[in-house]
Amino acid sequence: MATQKLKSLAYIGTFGISAFITGTYFERKFSPQHNLKNPQDSPIFSTVFAATAVSPVPSETNVGRISQIMKYGFPGLDNVRSFDNFVLSYDKRNRVAHWVFEHITPECCKPNDQVDRALSEFTPDESIHPFFRSLNSDYYKSGYDRGHLAAAGNHRVTQKMVNQTFLLSNMAPQVGVGFNRDSWNRLERYVRRLTRTFKNVYCCTGPLYLPRKEANGKNYVKYEVIGANHVAVPTHFFKVVVCETKDGQFEMESYVMPNQVISDDTPLTSFMVPPETIERAAGLLFFDNIARSKFSKINHKKN
DNA sequence: TTTGTTGT
């Protein structure tokens, strides 16, 4: 009896370890270092493993910039990838990011003759395993836009930075007219404009899949999936923004907008929700490294 | 101003 139990334990153990090794092998096999077509446009370092010591960081990285962007904490640690000017956590199950994180400064947003958005192409992210990678064909004729999570307009420093925002790992299916091209864009422009007042703006953006009460009175999470890879269509999107004031205080604003046609005259303030609501719904913690007492304002109200 | 799709 005891031996039997030991045997099955050993079996489970072996299976677990070999599965782990296989997983690691595939992650490494498909990590950018092993799959370089265009090194300039690829992420700097591959998946972050929270509990394993693998993949030493290549020497010529912008580690300084990344720690600057993530200075106030990671919202989560699932499949983190860093690019020249933003950081992304990828949801392999939904084929859409969990979150993207940006540190937006006046320099990032100002017009730049050296950069042309029209030269950028929507590109599959080769650093994602093909099982979990979204493709242009998934979006084709779906009726949805390939909507940026990290907005192209926040990364006008170099052409390479803008190009990286066009990776499909940074896209989510968004309603085009009335949402992505209108009210969501209005929110993105508003966040950019905050850099006129605040020199340091931190912005976390991501999808939500929110439950809805159906006729039988029970709550269900229901969302469409598109294309052969079943890319999830989020029901909502969130943006959590933190502005650093000159006197070392912070102001936070957090928004949730439904992925649907929104009237242009709807004020952005009507989409403000408490940050805790988003944290619970998304399973993330925002700006964990800032003591809540340091926020002078949350959603325009004194804290 | 910035956000984008589709068909040829």
From first to last of its 303 residues, what are the pLDDT tens digits of chain A? Answer: 444 444 443 333 333 333 333 333 333 333 333 333 443 444 434 433 334 333 444 446 789 999 999 999 999 999 999 999 999 999 999 999 999 999 999 999 999 999 999 999 999 999 999 999 999 999 999 999 999 999 999 999 999 999 999 999 999 999 999 999 999 999 999 999 999 999 999 999 999 999 999 999 999 999 999 999 999 999 999 999 999 998 989 999 999 999 999 999 999 999 999 999 999 999 999 999 999 889 999 999 999
Q: Measured from the CB, is A122 under 7 Å from any atom of strand B?
A: yes
Active site residue A98: no
Q: Is the CB of A245 under 7 A from strand B?
A: no
Q: Are A102 and A203 in contact (CB under 8 A)?
A: yes
For CA atoms A210, A215, A217, A220, the dihedral sign is: negative
Whole-structure pTM over 0.85, yes or no?
A: no
Which residue among A98, A148, A155, A236 is the active-site one? Answer: A148
Domains and CATH numbers, chain A: 2-302 (3.40.570.10)
